[in-house]
Amino acid sequence: MFVGGPLQKISPDVVIGEDTYVADFVNLYGCKIGRNCKIGTFVEIQKNAVVGDRCKISSHTFVCEGVIIEDEVFVGHGVVFINDRRPKAATAGGALQNESDWQVRPTRIKKGASIGSGAVIMCDVTIGENALVGAGAVVTKDVPAGAVVVGNPSRVLVKE
Amino acid sequence: MFVGGPLQKISPDVVIGEDTYVADFVNLYGCKIGRNCKIGTFVEIQKNAVVGDRCKISSHTFVCEGVIIEDEVFVGHGVVFINDRRPKAATAGGALQNESDWQVRPTRIKKGASIGSGAVIMCDVTIGENALVGAGAVVTKDVPAGAVVVGNPSRVLVKE
Amino acid sequence: MFVGGPLQKISPDVVIGEDTYVADFVNLYGCKIGRNCKIGTFVEIQKNAVVGDRCKISSHTFVCEGVIIEDEVFVGHGVVFINDRRPKAATAGGALQNESDWQVRPTRIKKGASIGSGAVIMCDVTIGENALVGAGAVVTKDVPAGAVVVGNPSRVLVKE
């Protein structure tokens, strides 16, 4: 059973499954995390993000609203997800944007996929089952099941 | 009005404008941040960096000395700025380098620009008004106003 | 002499040399760090990693098990090291992987090298003496002594 410590920020609305380990220096709010996961140091997971069972979310990674991570997914260190293709700080009228000013775009990481460290995952993307995103790849379109992708922008190196 | 909390490191010389929100797990020193901004989790902003009004500096981002961010700029998650083209840990004589051993190189992000998550911004660069730096781009030269740049090294995808 | 503070996570088995400065918001365990180094904010260094003398490990950087950093090495901000070429969250049997399920692959950074911010360093790699890895580079193979490499994947821009 999970209990937040003095070096963790976990809002009361976070749902965390049994046997899941959460490191210190994390910021979690409004998200759902499954059973038997490991959540590393310096991780932020936003509201409405979902992490399945037996996942690893490694240190320095940011999981934003709109991201659904299925079971048994490995997310490396320093991975960044995205939910807005044209981010702006302010509205045309000069006010700081708030949630009503943009629409969250979805991302789905399917069962058993692995995302290498330092990868950047654009929104409107699905990464297929057991796919491998190479370290440092910038993923801008769907990755087929079982494929290996690398590069910026990422391209398929190995098909299933 | 800003008050530092127990999970924030904000040195007394930081100037923060009204209505600016600063998350926990931040390290801010010697910098100036404008009004009505949002500063995310796991952000470090060094001395002599300047952030304008109505800016968003998202989680996991590092803003170094020499960076001037004008008003209404969006900086995504995990963005890294740079102020030294040839960093070295030690001097030729074998001592750890200190501030007198290098010269800070400048970077300017102009009004209304947006920097996508995971981007790396080399020094001696100006990013023009309302430009968009794509996620994961490595920017090595100036970006024209209104342009969209992507890739490593970044190239112009769309002109204004 | 080093003493851990309330915003640092430093396990008792960490060895830290004299005159080494360690910032707040760090997670260090089972590693060895030499003398006269600077370890920045939001840094994690795992067990069995070694950092030499007079090194700078800048903010937001992750140093994993299997990494040996020799003396006088500069590691920029947001740098990620790797020790597994085919990471998976779970075993074929559906259990969360633990240490017995993979073999740590090594990385060595030789004396006087500099690694630019935002770089990703694949495992099974040696970066030669006084080499410079450009900002945002994704290093997938050995870097010769004195060379400058850039890009994703990185290529040699300047030989010694």
Q: Which member of B44, B122, B152 has the closest CB to residue C41?
A: B44
Q: Using an 8 Å Cβ cutoff, are B117 and B135 in contact?
A: yes
A82·B117 Cβ contact <8 A: yes
Q: What subunits make at least 3 CB pairs under 8 angstroms with A? A: B, C
Q: Which member of C27, C60, C90 has the closest CB to residue A72?
A: C90
Q: Is the confidence at residue C118, as pLDDT, over 70? A: yes
Q: Which member of C25, C118, C120 has the closest CB to residue A135?
A: C120
Q: What's the whole-number mean pLDDT along residues A40-58?
A: 98
Residues above pLDDT 90, as percent of chain C: 90
Query: In which band, very low, low, confident or very high, does the pLDDT at B1 lie, cut at 50, 70 and 90?
Result: very low
Compare A17 and B99 and report the one with higher pLDDT.
A17
Compare A7 and A160 and report the one with higher pLDDT.
A7
B135·A80 Cβ contact <8 A: yes
The burial class, CB within 10 Å (0-12 / 13-18 / 19+), for A158 is exposed
pLDDT of residue A1: 40
Instruction: Give chain A's contact residues with B (Cβ, < 8 Å).
Output: 7, 9, 25, 27, 42, 44, 60, 62, 64, 78, 80, 82, 86-90, 94-97, 118, 120, 122, 138, 152-153
Q: What's the whole-number mean pLDDT along residues B50-54?
A: 98
What is the interface pTM, i.e. ipTM, of the complex?
0.96
Residues of C in contact with B154 (CB under 8 A): none
Query: What residue of B is the nearest CA neighbor of A27?
Result: B41
Max mean pLDDT range (A141-155, B89-103, C3-17) = A141-155
Domains of chain C: 1-160 (2.160.10.10)
Compare B102 and B28 and report the one with higher pLDDT.
B28
Q: Is the confidence at residue A153, as pLDDT, over 70? A: yes
Q: Is the confidence at residue A2, as pLDDT, over 70? A: no
Q: Is the confidence at residue A36, as pLDDT, over 70? A: yes
Q: What's the whole-number mean pLDDT along residues C84-113?
A: 93
CA distance B43 to B121: 16
A 10 A CB-CB count for C80 gives 28
Closest CA to B36 of B79, B74, B72: B72
For B27, the token pair is 């390290």
- pTM for the model: 0.97
Residues of A in contact with C82 (CB under 8 A): 76, 116-117, 135
For chain A, give the mean pLDDT. 95
Query: In which band, very low, low, confident or very high, does the pLDDT at C3 lie, cut at 50, 70 and 90?
Result: low
CA distance B38 to B99: 29
Residues of C in contact with A136 (CB under 8 A): 120, 138, 152
Query: In which band, very low, low, confident or very high, does the pLDDT at A61 lie, cut at 50, 70 and 90?
Result: very high
Query: In which band, very low, low, confident or very high, does the pLDDT at B3 lie, cut at 50, 70 and 90?
Result: low
Residues of B in contact with C132 (CB under 8 A): 86
Q: Is the confidence at residue B71, as pLDDT, over 70? A: yes
Residues of C in contact with B41 (CB under 8 A): none
Query: What residue of C is the nearest CA neighbor of A20?
Result: C96
pLDDT of residue A99: 84
CA distance B43 to B28: 8
pLDDT of residue C99: 85
CA distance B132 to B94: 42
Phi, psi of A93 (to 5 degrees): -80, -5
Query: What residue of A is the nearest CA neighbor of C93?
Result: A72
Q: Is the confidence at residue B2, as pLDDT, over 60? A: no
Q: Using an 8 Å Cβ cutoff, are B109 and B73 in contact?
A: yes
Q: Which member of B55, B76, B151 has the closest CB to residue A152?
A: B151
Residues of B in contact with C78 (CB under 8 A): 60, 62, 78, 80, 120
Q: What's the whole-number mean pLDDT along residues A105-126?
A: 98
C-alpha pair distances (Å), C52 with each of B11, C49, C76, C112: 30, 10, 15, 10
Q: What is the pLDDT of residues B104-116, one digit of tens each?
A: 999 999 999 999 9
Backbone CA torsion sign across C96, A131, A106, B58: positive
Instruction: Give chain A's contact residues with C (Cβ, < 8 Å).
Output: 7, 23-25, 36-38, 40-42, 54-56, 59-60, 71-74, 76-78, 112, 114, 116-118, 132, 135-136, 150-152
Residues above pLDDT 70, as percent of chain B: 98
Closest CA to A48 of A30, A61, A71: A30
CA distance B18 to B53: 10
Residues of A in contact with C88 (CB under 8 A): 72, 74, 112, 114
Residues of C in contact with A42 (CB under 8 A): 25, 27, 42, 44, 60
Q: Is the confidence at residue A72, as pLDDT, over 90? A: yes
Q: Which member of B27, B86, B120 has the closest CB to residue C136?
A: B120
CA distance A92 to A132: 40
Q: Is the confidence at residue A3, as pLDDT, over 80? A: no
